[in-house]
Amino acid sequence: MDTYTTVSFFESGVWRSIMLTGILLLSLLVANMLKRKIPFLKKSLIPNSVLGGIILLIISSICYFVSGKYLFNLNLFSSNGSGIRTLEILTYHCLAIGFIAMTLRPMKKASGGKRAVEILNSGISTICTYMLQGIAGIIITILAGFAISGFAPGSGILLAFGYGQGTGQALNIGKNFDHTLGTSSYSSFGLAIAALGFLTASIVGVIYLNFLRRKGRLEIRNASKAEALTVFDVQNPDEPEMNESIDKLSMQCAFVAIAYMMAYGMMYLLGNVILGKGSNLTGTIYGFNFIFGVLAAVIIKAILNLLRKKQVVKHQYTNTFLLNRISGFAFDVMIVSGICAIQVHLLVEYWWVILLLGVAGAILTFLYLKYVTKKLFPAYQHEQFLAFFGMLTGTASTGMILLREADPDLKSPVSENLVYQNFPAIVLGFPLLLIAGRITTKAASVTTALVMLAIIFAIFVILNIILFRVFIFKRKKNGG
């Protein structure tokens, strides 16, 4: 017979999660205030979530060196020192929630053959950059393995996820390394790389943005000019009224929650039933929760569209404005949680490897994207470069921040490229996820790291041939 324990609402355990969440959101407000008051921070374009996470990370690290516990492992925020684990769980779930909300948005199809080619090229460019970052990262960590005993030679793949995809995926892949090796270092290792990526996007991106402005290649944005939302931006005429019996935000949250439940069902079926709970790949499956979330969101979106086509449903129930707010909130919480979950004492031995990865990632990403945008997007190369660079060292949000500084009214098609390129990028990027899964399940093997490095390099070469197909085959034709 089950026993029931009475809950006393004055107990600290009832309030711990509220206190932890409150501190995370408070850091966003403090970061916003600092950015408005400090000119250097305002010019840096560093996202509030990154700045808030760094502030909490500094406070948390000081707390550790003074008391032996990180800030969120104190009894005020956690029981038995589980606060860092809670932050990691938040980061994990917010990644998928943000992607689901973005996928559920109703979007018009991009029209025109030329636009389709540009979107395809955008997706291929994204994956090629991931591959380049992965190649550089694995080479560096294979070499670092000779200097650091027991260091995972393939952990450099985290550069592709920390820079290329941000905090959530860096944590997921890092956790897979920790699970295989029985350590707790690689989750912080991945989060540290992701944090470096945000700083790279914010600092290097802004320096180059100002360089372009001085050269007269970009217009100077009027900082006092505010963008006004129209009624159509908030509510499409095809949607039900805001004063429906169910709040419209509740409806969007319901769609997101249903999609995430479906995603969990898919992961459980594949990871626990088909592969079996003891399989080495089960952890990897759950590590890619955002992919299953996107797939579930696409299914829900298709069902809603079919119901509308059959006139079973009369209105458009998904709302772009509100789904953007949900994804923005999820990504803000993801970033601030991920950064302040870094345990600096675990990185003391690896700091120079992280620095090497960060510098190599910044230089190679910058140079490769400069070449790609000059050759493939000549009509708007600077706007495309800044958006790409921000996205492929930070997140899509960072890319949009830089793009809005370069193209305030979004006159160029770059914003469309960033949205629609996700579809070819997910398909083309799937091999990288499989490669990462293989590396993490054989984390201590130099041979596996070398084999995966060769495979990534081969894919990188093939994708670049496809990407620059017009120039390559044109030269051959002219030469013939």
pLDDT digits (tens, 9 = 90+) for 37-89: 998 888 777 888 889 999 999 999 999 999 988 999 888 888 776 888 899 88
58 belongs to a structural domain? no
Q: Is 229 left (phi over 0), alpha (psi -120 to 50) or beta?
A: beta
pTM across the whole model? 0.81
Tokens 């039933």 belong to: 273
65 belongs to a structural domain? no
Q: Are 20 and 337 in contact (CB under 8 A)?
A: no
The stretch 324-347 carries a mean pLDDT of 89
* Structural domain of 434: 86-219+234-479
How far apart are the C-alpha atoms of 308 and 118, rounded to whole Å?
A: 30
Given this model, what pLDDT does residue 382 score?
92
304 belongs to a structural domain? yes
Number of other residues whose CB lies within 10 A of the CB of residue 225: 9
Q: Are 234 and 244 in contact (CB under 8 A)?
A: no
Given this model, what pLDDT does residue 410 score?
66
When divided into structural domains, the chain yields a total of 1
18 belongs to a structural domain? no
Confidence check: pLDDT of 239 > 70: no
70 belongs to a structural domain? no
33 belongs to a structural domain? no
110 belongs to a structural domain? yes
How far apart are the C-alpha atoms of 150 and 70, rounded to whole Å?
A: 26
Q: How confident is the model at residue 223 (pLDDT cuts 50, 70, 90)?
A: very low
More confident residue, 417 or 333: 333
Dihedral sign of CA atoms 148, 153, 158, 164 in order: positive
79 belongs to a structural domain? no
28 Cβ neighbours under 8 A, 6+ residues apart: 48, 49, 52, 332, 336
Dihedral sign of CA atoms 52, 55, 58, 62 in order: negative
